[in-house]
């Protein structure tokens, strides 16, 4: 057995996005030693890609007047289609304003209220109070009763991540970037750290900690068309699942964003519609008001995505070599507004599609965007199944989002959860001791070394990792998308079952030495296929429609049987997952009508057709 470096610390945070860094800061401020691991330098984390904004009920902007945590809470619960944990949502809504203000204190240049009269694109007038001049302003986002989304031009995630990382640097928190956690070290009841692979040298390392935090973000890249960064492969979730004792919650809840640009799937932020952009079909008809007369383009994401797909299915899509799409029109906002407030969108259109949005229409289609599911935790952020294991951010199912996340609630979750869970981690760590034997460690390292050996020597087979990956992506895209049916899902499960077996027979074509990228991909593939399996199988089992999970064969929400959270386990050595269910905590707001979405019928489309 080869030698490996061992690092010991109080708190080990796997992931340097907003959630991971915020939790790390909280733990460090409580006096703990913290090490952060990340695939990439922290400032390259996927959080920087968030453009639109972060929700908090500051009530400073004209259209935010009267907002408060109660309203934010209600929006969040409705948005989740009553799938969220209401205690968590309450705690979240109360803390979000503090989080936004603290980020301001740490340097985020939030856009501010400019007093005076303004005309909105729809012709209505608003008046910003001079008393509020210079306070943090907000923009409109889908699914919210008030303008609540605080923003920094359209680089909100970027500015947040840079400010957050500046605090990490200031506090001198250790960061090991280009380091990938590939396995948890645990004894069946306690988590003691991780085995990691250095992506620079390919060497294995051991990190031991009293508390281990999964903050690895989403799994978007399981899908072929995703707005996510290419490092979002759900590894944090899969190494947790791999323990056999930690369940993943609600993995079938996958959000699609209405506007991914065709064909690179880069996100055109909701800000484009919030600022007054329209969706048009092939006849250049603005169809959303036909389906959603009140919220129009700004109904919640799942609804808009579904309406778009519905409209395309009716034959109103624009044909293209990459499949049918619709148009996003922001031309009427004017060159000045587009080049200043929506600059990044304009750049994306120009650089990646050769389109000038000031004069041209933008081709868009619903695209995988967010994973509501993740490592299931309690309200303190501790994972089910293993003590000393925590999860925050998109990697977690804390469960703030239920079956649909509202735009702007995710950035808010990363930071709010980072604060709250970070504090719980600090408290837990104070009492905890590190109890791990060297044989225990060796066992976990040995297991990984074996895997690597097998891959390098091709001793289990010669399957091509990229081939399997592509088949997995296509399976999810085709059968586990926005509209789901039992039949298609069964197909998907069968295919994923096959891919799971094949993934265990992967062998490398290259040498696998040093920071070899093929080896990195091969080490992840089985875990990724498992996650895909959970998504498909969980969706097949859930015979209702809720939030982003829409079953054509069960189009209604079913609170009697399915007001439940899915918990998926993959027992050690098993060749398929098992599902358990737990009740959803509805402490304040009983299930009701969302006021948008399925309630308003399919017929609306018919009237669209006749127009």
Ligand X SMILES: Cc1cc2nc3c(=O)[nH]c(=O)nc-3n(C[C@H](O)[C@H](O)[C@H](O)COP(=O)(O)OP(=O)(O)OC[C@H]3O[C@@H](n4cnc5c(N)ncnc54)[C@H](O)[C@@H]3O)c2cc1C
Q: Which is nearer to ligand X, 228 or 404 (CB)?
A: 228
Binding status of residue 102 toward other proteins by CB under 8 A: yes
State in angstroms the smallest separation of the CB of 558 from ligand X: 28
Interatomic CA distance for residues 161 and 46, integer angstroms? 9
- The answer to whether residues 15 and 215 touch, using CB atoms and an 8 Å cutoff, is yes
Buried b or exposed e, range 123-144, using 16+ CB within 10 angstroms:
eeeeebeeebeebbbbbbbbbb
The residue whose two tokens read 């990382």 is: 165
Q: Which is nearer to ligand X, 62 or 96 (CB)?
A: 96
Q: Which of the residues 464 through 483 are near other proteins (CB under 8 A)?
A: 466
- By residue count, the chain amounts to 611
Q: Which does 62 bind (CB under 5 to 8 A by kind): ligand X, other proteins, none?
A: none
Binding status of residue 136 toward other proteins by CB under 8 A: yes
Binding status of residue 181 toward ligand X by CB under 6 A: yes
Q: Which of the residues 556 through 595 are near other proteins (CB under 8 A)?
A: none
Q: Which is nearer to ligand X, 14 or 496 (CB)?
A: 14
Hey, what are 569's tokens? 């386990």
Q: Which is nearer to other proteins, 111 or 600 (CB)?
A: 111
534 CB neighbour count, 10 Å cutoff: 28
Q: Is the peptide bond preceding residue 263 cis, with omega within 30 degrees of 0?
A: yes
Q: Which of the residues 233 through 292 are near other proteins (CB under 8 A)?
A: 263-264, 266-267
* Count of residues interacting with ligand X (CB under 6 A): 47
Q: Which does 333 bind (CB under 5 to 8 A by kind): ligand X, other proteins, none?
A: none
Catalytic residue among 46, 197, 273, 307: 273
Distance of CA 463 to CAs 253, 290, 456, 507, Å? 30, 49, 12, 6
Distance of CA 206 to CAs 37, 103, 197, Å? 12, 33, 9
Sheet holding 362-371, edge to edge: 254-261, 362-371, 326-329, 278-280
State in angstroms the smallest separation of the CB of 6 from other proteins: 22
Determine the interface stretch with ligand X among 42-50, 57-65, 468-476, 526-534 (rule: CB under 6 A): 42-50
Binding status of residue 209 toward ligand X by CB under 6 A: no
Binding status of residue 215 toward ligand X by CB under 6 A: yes
Distance of CA 150 to CAs 53, 90, 410, 564, 586, Å? 5, 19, 12, 32, 28
Helix, strand, coil percentages, rounded to 5, for the chain: 40, 20, 40
Binding status of residue 65 toward ligand X by CB under 6 A: no
Distance of CA 259 to CAs 196, 242, 307, Å? 36, 34, 12
Q: Which does 169 bind (CB under 5 to 8 A by kind): other proteins, ligand X, none?
A: other proteins
Interatomic CA distance for residues 451 and 525, integer angstroms? 12
When binding is defined by CB under 6 A, the residue of 341, 377, 410, 424 that contacts ligand X is 410
Binding status of residue 170 toward other proteins by CB under 8 A: yes
Question: CA angle, 344 as apex, 100 and 284 as ends, to 5°?
Answer: 115
Binding status of residue 43 toward other proteins by CB under 8 A: yes
The residue whose two tokens read 């390292």 is: 445
Q: Is 364 exposed, middle or buried (0-12, 13-18, 19+ CB in 10 A)?
A: buried
The 3 state secondary structure assigned to 469-515 is HHHHHHHHHHHCCCEECHHHHHHHHHHHHHHHHHHCCECCCCCCCCC
Interatomic CA distance for residues 17 and 393, integer angstroms? 9
Q: Which does 394 bind (CB under 5 to 8 A by kind): other proteins, ligand X, none?
A: ligand X
Instruction: State the binding string over 528-557 for ligand X (x if CB under 6 A, else -).
Output: ------------------------------
Binding status of residue 137 toward other proteins by CB under 8 A: yes
Binding status of residue 520 toward ligand X by CB under 6 A: no
Binding status of residue 366 toward ligand X by CB under 6 A: no
Largest Cα separation within the chain, whole Å, is: 73
Interatomic CA distance for residues 343 and 336, integer angstroms? 10
State in angstroms the smallest separation of the CB of 217 from ligand X: 2
Binding status of residue 106 toward other proteins by CB under 8 A: yes
| Euclidean distance between the first and the last CA atom of the chain, given in angstroms as a whole number | 73
Determine the interface stretch with other proteins among 172-180, 390-398, 406-414, 423-431 (rule: CB under 8 A): 172-180
Binding status of residue 243 toward ligand X by CB under 6 A: no
257 is catalytic: yes
Catalytic residue among 32, 186, 257, 301: 257
Interatomic CA distance for residues 182 and 444, integer angstroms? 10
Crossing angle (nearest 10°) for helices 486-503 and 465-479: 170
Determine the interface stretch with other proteins among 135-143, 389-397, 546-554, 557-565 (rule: CB under 8 A): 135-143
273 is catalytic: yes
**Residue from 528, 559, 536, 557 nearest 484 by CA:** 536
Q: Which is nearer to ligand X, 197 or 564 (CB)?
A: 197
Q: Which does 410 bind (CB under 5 to 8 A by kind): ligand X, other proteins, none?
A: ligand X
**Residue from 185, 221, 204, 213 nearest 524 by CA:** 221
Q: Which is nearer to other proteins, 115 or 379 (CB)?
A: 115
Q: Which does 508 bind (CB under 5 to 8 A by kind): other proteins, ligand X, none?
A: other proteins
State in angstroms the smallest separation of the CB of 361 from other proteins: 16
Buried b or exposed e, range 551-574, using 16+ CB within 10 angstroms:
beebeebebeebbbbbbbbbeeee
State in angstroms the smallest separation of the CB of 304 from other proteins: 21
Binding status of residue 14 toward other proteins by CB under 8 A: no
When binding is defined by CB under 6 A, the residue of 11, 12, 19, 248 that contacts ligand X is 19
Give me the active site residues, please: 257, 273
Residues lying near ligand X in the complex (CB under 6 A) are found at: 14-20, 37-40, 45-47, 49-54, 156-157, 180-181, 215-218, 227-228, 231-232, 235-236, 267, 369-370, 393-395, 407-412, 414
Residues lying near other proteins in the complex (CB under 8 A) are found at: 40-41, 43-46, 48-49, 58, 98, 100-102, 104-107, 109-114, 133-137, 152-153, 155, 158-159, 162-163, 165-167, 169-170, 175, 177-178, 200, 229-231, 263-264, 266-267, 321, 344, 347-348, 351-354, 466, 508-511, 513-518
């Amino acid at each position: 057995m080869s030698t490996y470096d061992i690092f010991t610390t109080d708190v080990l945070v796997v992931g340097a996005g907003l959630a991971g860094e915020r939790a790390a800061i909280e733990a460090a401020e409580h006096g703990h030693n913290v090490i952060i691991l990340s695939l990439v330098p922290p400032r390259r984390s996927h959080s920087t890609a968030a453009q639109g904004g972060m929700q908090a009920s500051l009530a400073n902007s004209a259209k935010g007047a009267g907002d408060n945590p109660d309203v934010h809470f209600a929006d969040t619960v409705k948005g989740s289609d009553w799938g969220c944990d209401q205690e968590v949502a309450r705690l979240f809504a109360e803390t979000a304003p503090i989080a936004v203000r603290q980020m301001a204190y740490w340097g985020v240049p939030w856009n501010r209220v400019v007093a005076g009269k303004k005309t909105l694109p729809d012709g209505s007038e608003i008046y910003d109070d001079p008393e509020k001049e210079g306070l943090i302003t907000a923009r409109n986002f889908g699914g919210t009763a008030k303008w609540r989304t605080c923003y920094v031009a359209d680089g909100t995630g970027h500015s947040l991540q840079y400010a957050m990382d500046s605090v990490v640097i200031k506090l001198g928190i250790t960061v090991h970037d280009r380091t990938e956690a590939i396995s948890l070290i645990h004894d069946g009841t306690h988590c003691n750290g991780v085995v990691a692979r250095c992506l620079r040298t390919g060497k294995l390392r051991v990190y031991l900690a009293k508390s281990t935090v999964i903050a690895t973000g989403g799994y978007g890249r399981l899908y072929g068309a995703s707005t996510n960064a290419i490092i979002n492969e759900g590894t944090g979730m899969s190494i947790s699942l791999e323990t056999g004792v930690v369940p993943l919650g609600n993995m079938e809840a996958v959000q699609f964003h209405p506007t991914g640009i065709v064909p690179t799937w880069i996100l055109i932020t909701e800000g484009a519609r919030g600022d007054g952009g329209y969706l048009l079909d092939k006849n250049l008809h603005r169809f959303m008001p036909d389906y959603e007369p009140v919220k129009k383009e700004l109904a919640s994401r799942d609804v808009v995505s579904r309406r778009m797909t519905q409209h395309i299915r009716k034959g109103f899509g624009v044909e293209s070599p990459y499949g049918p799409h619709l148009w996003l029109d922001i031309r009427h906002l004017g060159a000045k507004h587009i080049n200043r407030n929506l600059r990044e969108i304009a750049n994306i259109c120009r650089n990646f599609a050769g389109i000038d949005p000031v004069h041209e229409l933008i081709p868009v289609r619903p695209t995988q965007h967010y994973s509501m599911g993740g490592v299931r935790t309690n309200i303190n952020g501790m994972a089910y199944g293993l003590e000393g294991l925590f999860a925050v951010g998109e990697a977690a199912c804390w469960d703030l989002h239920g079956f649909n996340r509202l735009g702007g609630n995710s950035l808010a979750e990363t930071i709010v959860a980072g604060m709250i869970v970070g504090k719980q981690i600090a408290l837990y760590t104070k009492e905890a001791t590190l109890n791990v034997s060297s044989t225990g460690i060796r066992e976990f390292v040995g297991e990984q070394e074996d895997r690597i050996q097998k891959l390098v020597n091709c001793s289990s087979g010669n399957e091509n990792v990229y081939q399997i990956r592509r088949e997995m992506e296509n399976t999810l895209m085709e059968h586990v998308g926005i509209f789901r049916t039992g039949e298609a899902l069964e197909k998907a499960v069968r295919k994923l079952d096959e891919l799971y077996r094949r993934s265990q027979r992967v062998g490398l074509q290259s040498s696998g030495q040093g920071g070899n990228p093929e080896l990195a991909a091969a080490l992840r593939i089985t875990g990724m296929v498992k996650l895909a399996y959970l998504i498909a199988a969980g969706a097949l089992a859930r015979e209702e429609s809720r939030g982003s999970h829409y079953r054509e064969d069960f189009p209604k929400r079913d609170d009697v049987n399915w007001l439940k959270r899915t918990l998926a386990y993959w027992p050690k050595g098993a060749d398929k997952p098992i599902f358990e269910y737990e009740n959803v905590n509805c402490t304040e707001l009983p299930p009701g009508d969302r006021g948008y979405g399925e309630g308003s019928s399919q017929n609306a489309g018919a009237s669209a057709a006749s127009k």
